[in-house]
Amino acid sequence: MSETELDYEQARDELTAVVAKLEAGGLSLEESLALWERGEELARICDRHLAGARERVEAALASVERGEPGKAT
């Protein structure tokens, strides 16, 4: 599955699994580095989703404050 196909929940769940594997230890240096890099990618995906959600909430709140509740989508 490509990075652009992951939704927030998928990225978060995979990131949780990556962290658990890293915390469990017993991996080679190469395996650890590969997991770390994947974790960084997943964290960026989650950040993008959260930033988009934050923008949508702020836009909705701004519409309500302007008296335009019908435009809050």
- Cα–Cα distances in Å, from 46 out to 33, 40, 41, 65, 72? 20, 10, 9, 28, 24
All structural domains of the chain with their residue ranges = 3-67
In the prediction, which pLDDT does 24 show? 97
Task: Return d(Cα 24, Cα 29) in angstroms, integer.
Answer: 14
In the prediction, which pLDDT does 65 show? 85
Interval 44-68: pLDDT, tens: 999 999 999 999 999 999 988 888 7
Determine the average pLDDT of the residues in 12-37: 98
Give the pTM.
0.77
Assign domain 3-67 one CATH number from 3.20.20.70, 1.10.287.1040, 3.40.50.740, 1.10.10.10: 1.10.287.1040
